[in-house]
Amino acid sequence: MTVSEVGSVMLIDDNLTDRFIHKKLLAIHEFTSEIIECESAREGLEFFKANKESKDQLPDIILLDVLMPEMNGFDFLIHLEGMEDELAKKPIIFMLSSTDDESDLRKARSVRMVNKMLRKPFSPEALISAISEL
Amino acid sequence: MTSSLNRKNIRVLYLDDEENNLRSFKAAFRRDYDVYIASTSEKAFDIVKSVKPQVIFSDQRMPVTTGVEFFNAVRQVFPDPVRILITGYTDVNDIIEAINKGHIHRYITKPWSEQEIRVAIDNAYDLFQTRKSLDSKITELEKSNYELSRFIYSASHDLRAPIASTLGLLRVAKHDVTDEAALGYFDKMEETTNTLDMFVSNIIDYYKNARLNDESEDVDFELMIEDVIESVKSYLNTNDVHIDSSINQKHSFKGDIFRIRVILSQLISNAIKFKKEDQKQARIKIEIEADLNEVNINVRDSGVGILTDHVQKVFQIFFKGSSKSAGSGIGLYIVKEALDRMGGEISVDSKPGEGTLFSIKIPNKL
């Protein structure tokens, strides 16, 4: 897969500054102009529930923060996995973590839907090389 | 030893089916100790429950239960009191077995002397106190280990998250801003923040390593090296590295994944950081040979090398080769500590200007 094939990206992160950084960096590297911003995992799930049948609305890529209050990134994935079969389009999921905590890495590897765990600060170069491996 | 002043705090229970023995025991010791007597094991049990004696004596030969049986029952519910058996010579075999199984602390043969019992009580009380303070030390240790784990978790997330955000903002700012002076400041800020980032990560690694638990898991060195290289590259924000690795692992290897990862990360990131100034790209060679007994890992670089005077000091905490070094002075210390925990070894061979070879050996916990 190449970057030009990426239609839309969903950002799920409770931290406003980090969402700002990710949005900016995606724009600078001309990823896509279609960005769906969610400030909680719950909001992301609601979006998926509302748009599960619409191929045009669903994102190609999710950048998912690991540590969030109320519902963390891993909990989000459990819910998403539950509705996976009903989705018109399966998203490619990259998790973002501020640590390279061994236990988080291991957990991410055990979740089938996760393509890769990326370390914050978000690096578009790392994302580009991860996408090209798909 | 126990001073005579506080002996009244010592609660002693004596169980014997013969009233005469009980009476003479009480008469002999009641002035010095807090003495309780019981003629049946039921009564003795009640006293143990309500009074919580530190020392219990019991006669071996009694009509319903033997002393060893009584102690065995007490031990299940109240393990703390020190148990001493009073017996004739003929029962010795049973008693040796009871001592070996840890049911009783010692035995005293009949007829006992007052002096003998006094010494036994005082020693038993000392043992009781020592065990108690050991227990509370263990509880304390477990508590601080738990607190350490929580600190590590929150430090690794809460402390590192704002650093990551700052680095991210600087990346964005460097694109958005064109002013030369401002860009110069951003570069300096980035450099400083990277130093802080490394220091925080090293501190977290240090505390993770200091935790007590040692875990043995299956290690796939191929996968681990891949992971480590990727994380070190993203961490140092560089792709400009040439790494040549040869891994030979025919057998399964059990070891502490976290500690081995920390060691490899530190050695590889050092090899990248300490390349020669005129070197365009850091060049690193990693060799891993794992067999049933151990794994031998070599990490060789062609970087600046270590001064001969410094080679012995690199594993000391807060040692820095030069004041220009961006290092925290903790990295190699953590490597050494982690290896010590696993029973591993490390050696260094270095020539200034030519490069450094770190060789490590870690036993297979298979």
Block residue for tokens 């957990």: A107
Q: What is the pLDDT of residue A1?
A: 77
For residue B168, give the chain A residue with the closest CA: A121
Q: What is the pLDDT of residue B82?
A: 96
Interface residue of B149, B166, B169, B196 to substitute, partner A, most A CBs within 10 Å: B169
Interface residue of B178, B213, B229, B234 to substitute, partner A, most A CBs within 10 Å: B234
Give the tokens for residue B228: 């480590």
Contacts of B167 in chain A (CB under 8 A): 121
Q: What is the pLDDT of residue A20?
A: 95
Q: Which of B220, B241, B218, B217 is nearest to B229 (CA)?
A: B241
Q: Which of B280, B267, B252 is nearest to B331 (CA)?
A: B267
Q: Which of B185, B16, B183, B197 is nearest to A120 (CA)?
A: B197
Q: What is the pLDDT of residue B118?
A: 95
Walk along chain B (366 residues) and give the pLDDT tens digit of each residue.
445 556 889 999 999 999 999 999 999 999 999 999 999 999 999 999 999 999 999 999 899 899 989 999 999 999 999 999 998 766 677 778 778 877 889 989 888 899 999 999 999 999 999 999 999 999 998 888 888 877 777 777 888 899 999 999 999 999 999 999 999 999 999 988 988 888 888 888 888 787 766 678 899 999 899 888 988 887 777 778 899 999 999 989 999 988 999 899 999 998 998 888 888 888 999 999 999 999 999 999 998 888 888 888 888 877 877 666 666 678 899 899 999 999 999 999 998 889 999 999 999 998
Cα A110 from chain centroid (whole Å) = 17
Of A28, A99, A105, the CB nearest to B157: A99
**Beta-ladder partners of A96:** A65, A118
8 Å CB contact between B103 and B76:
no
For residue A120, give the chain B residue with the closest CA: B164
Domain ranges within chain A, ordered by starting residue: 3-132
Sequence-separated (6 or more) residues with CB below 8 Å from residue B201 = B160, B235
Rounded Cα gap, residues A46 and B246, in angstroms: 48
Q: What is the pLDDT of residue B181?
A: 95
For residue A67, give the chain B residue with the closest CA: B157
Phi and psi at B277, nearest 5°, equal: -60, -35
Of A15, A24, A98, the CB nearest to B172: A24
Span A3-132 CATH architecture? 3-Layer(aba) Sandwich (3.40)
Q: What is the pLDDT of residue B324?
A: 60
**DSSP per-residue codes, B148-201:** HHHHHHHIIIIIHHHHHHHHHHHHHHHHH---HHHHHHHHHHHHHHHHHHHHHH
Confidence of residue A40 (pLDDT cuts 50, 70, 90): very high
CB pair distance less than 8 Å for A28 and B175:
yes
Contacts of A117 in chain B (CB under 8 A): none
The per-residue pLDDT for range A41-93, each reduced to its tens digit, is: 999 999 999 999 998 999 999 999 998 999 999 999 999 999 999 999 999 99
- Please return the burial class of B311, using the count of CB atoms within 10 Å of its CB with bins 0-12, 13-18 and 19+: middle
Rounded Cα gap, residues B305 and B354, in angstroms: 6
Collect all residues from A whose CB is shorter than 8 A from any CB in B: 15, 17-18, 20-22, 24-25, 28, 67, 98-102, 105, 118-123, 125-126
Rounded Cα gap, residues B246 and B159, in angstroms: 36
Distance from CA of A101 to the nearest CA of B (A): 8
Rounded Cα gap, residues B29 and B41, in angstroms: 21
8 Å CB contact between B202 and B334:
yes
CATH number given to B214-366: 3.30.565.10
8 Å CB contact between B343 and B323:
no
Of A67, A102, A105, the CB nearest to B157: A67
Of B164, B171, B231, the CB nearest to A25: B171
Q: What is the pLDDT of residue A14?
A: 95
User: Complex ipTM, two decimals?
Assistant: 0.89
Q: What is the pLDDT of residue B49?
A: 95
Contacts of B161 in chain A (CB under 8 A): 15, 67, 98, 120
Kindly tell me the number of DSSP H helices and DSSP E strands found in chain B: 10, 12
Span B4-112 CATH architecture? 3-Layer(aba) Sandwich (3.40)
Phi and psi at A3, nearest 5°, equal: -60, -35
Rounded Cα gap, residues A9 and A52, in angstroms: 15
Distance from CA of B271 to the nearest CA of A (A): 20
Give the tokens for residue B150: 């929580």
Amino acid occupying residue B150: R
What count of CB pairs under 8 Å joins A to B? 62
- Please return the burial class of B93, using the count of CB atoms within 10 Å of its CB with bins 0-12, 13-18 and 19+: exposed
pLDDT at A22 over 70: yes
Contacts of B172 in chain A (CB under 8 A): 20-21, 24-25, 28
Phi and psi at B172, nearest 5°, equal: -65, -45
Contacts of A22 in chain B (CB under 8 A): 168
Rounded Cα gap, residues B84 and B122, in angstroms: 12
Length of chain B: 366
Peptide bond into B111 cis (omega under 30): yes
